[in-house]
């Protein structure tokens, strides 16, 4: 059994483009759920606003790339206002119901046959990412070797003996942009959550009536958190669309949002670095299990009549779920959380 391959794949995924998409979307959700206590179950819809805003802007409306980005961001703000205005004055669970429904409406609208002229229907859209990759500074043809790093026809390989990391020059560009965005939003949120503004958000999470009784316009703060978290979700959507050079309606299923919650809880809610650590762990675990089981079957270490290759997918989700349960039993505050907070008597 090829452990080198399994580890290499898992670690490549743990810091790769897809992980960055989830990390960004989770950073936005962490502001909403972790700090403000808003139950947004429609982060997938905000990512879809970004992805489809960009794709429709460039492909259908023939706008320049940056206008497409602007359209994606504007759509996310509009969605946040549409969802927030009727629900944020009501009890917390109303937002949860409305956002989960809205996410499905967005996805089903995107895949509707009647609108496929504008959205590409269930096939999705492509042909909007060229301007992004035209900015790619990593050459596609270079070949060199330096210590443990080597470049072969634009493919970077970092060899750490026990495992290696390999990325195409397109991946490298997506990752560069993705990590810069992650760093930017972490700095932004770090400043915000340590400010009096962030203190009001945490107060709202604890008890919004108390915060109201202290003269704060709770509705306005919740709306700001929803909009900003949604905008970060849209940025994750850009990265998602660009990293695959296409948009697909079914990447924005509710599962996407649920994984974000897994990631936040794994890393520790209301911890600045929680979403990034959670996303890295999630994708490491996910790839490690899939690749490990596949390798096990291929090498004969797992007998064919125990497990077939088609059963690996569902089993991986079962095992990811099981590890979540174990985490909640043994470390309910998440990796970065503070156990003391959970033992508090919330009366």
Q: Which of 13, 18, 224, 333 binds other proteins (CB under 8 A)?
A: 224
Instruction: Identify whether the C-beta of residue 79 lies closer than 8 Å to the C-beta of residue 230.
Output: yes
Inter-helix orientation angle 218-244/43-55, to 10°: 50
H or E stretch including 156? strand 155-159
Q: Which of 213, 305, 310, 339 binds other proteins (CB under 8 A)?
A: 213
| 91 lies in the binding site for other proteins (CB under 8 A) | no
Instruction: Identify whether the C-beta of residue 277 lies closer than 8 Å to the C-beta of residue 267.
Output: yes
Of 91 and 347, which CB lies nearer to other proteins in the complex structure?
347
Interface with other proteins in residues 184-203 (CB under 8 A): 188, 191-192, 195-200, 202-203
Instruction: Identify whether the C-beta of residue 179 lies closer than 8 Å to the C-beta of residue 24.
Output: no
Candidate segments 79-87, 217-225, 258-266, 283-291, binder of other proteins by CB under 8 A:
217-225
Token code pair at residue 280? 């890295």
Q: Which of 117, 141, 304, 345 binds other proteins (CB under 8 A)?
A: 345
Q: How far is CA 125 from CA 53, 77, 117, 120, 313, in A?
A: 11, 22, 10, 5, 26
Token code pair at residue 145? 């070797």
Q: Which of 29, 211, 231, 289 binds other proteins (CB under 8 A)?
A: 211
164-167 β-sheet, strand order: 143-146, 149-152, 155-159, 164-167
Residue 223 CB, shortest distance to other proteins, in Å, is 11
Residue 234 CB, shortest distance to other proteins, in Å, is 18
Q: Which of 117, 146, 147, 215 binds other proteins (CB under 8 A)?
A: 215
Candidate segments 14-22, 45-53, 120-128, 212-220, binder of other proteins by CB under 8 A:
212-220
Site of interaction with other proteins (CB under 8 A): 188, 191-192, 195-200, 202-203, 205-207, 209-218, 224, 340-341, 344-347
């Amino acid at each position: 059994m090829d452990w080198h391959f399994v580890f290499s794949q898992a670690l490549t995924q743990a810091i790769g483009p897809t992980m960055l998409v989830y990390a960004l979307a989770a950073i936005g959700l962490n502001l909403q759920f972790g700090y403000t206590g808003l139950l947004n179950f429609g982060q997938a819809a905000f990512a879809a606003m970004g992805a489809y805003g960009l794709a429709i802007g460039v492909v259908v409306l023939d706008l320049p790339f940056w206008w497409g980005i602007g359209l994606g961001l504007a759509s996310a703000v509009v969605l946040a206002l549409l969802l927030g205005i009727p629900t944020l004055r009501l009890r917390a669970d109303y937002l949860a119901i409305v956002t989960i429904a809205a996410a499905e409406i967005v996805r089903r609208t995107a895949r509707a046959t009647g609108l496929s002229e504008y959205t590409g229907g269930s096939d999705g859209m492509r042909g909007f990412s060229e301007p992004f990759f035209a900015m790619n500074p990593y050459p596609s043809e270079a070949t060199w070797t330096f210590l443990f790093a080597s470049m072969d026809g634009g493919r970077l390989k970092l060899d750490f003996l026990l495992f290696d990391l390999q990325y195409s020059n397109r991946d490298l560009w997506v990752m560069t942009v993705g990590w810069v965005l992650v760093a930017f939003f972490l700095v932004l949120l770090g400043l915000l959550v340590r400010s009096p503004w962030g203190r009001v958000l945490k107060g709202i999470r604890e008890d919004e009536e108390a915060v109201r009784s202290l003269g704060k316009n709770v509705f306005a703060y919740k709306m700001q958190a929803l909009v900003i978290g949604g905008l970060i979700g849209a940025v994750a959507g850009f990265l998602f669309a660009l990293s695959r050079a296409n948009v697909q309606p079914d990447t924005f299923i509710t599962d996407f949002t649920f994984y974000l919650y897994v990631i936040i809880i794994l890393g520790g809610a209301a911890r600045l670095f929680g979403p990034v650590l959670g996303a890295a762990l999630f994708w490491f675990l996910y790839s490690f299990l899939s690749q490990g089981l596949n390798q096990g079957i291929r090498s004969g270490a797992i007998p064919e009549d125990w497990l077939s290759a088609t059963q690996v997918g569902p089993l991986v989700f079962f095992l990811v779920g099981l590890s979540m349960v174990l985490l909640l039993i043994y470390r309910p505050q998440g990796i970065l959380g503070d156990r003391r907070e959970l033992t508090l008597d919330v009366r």
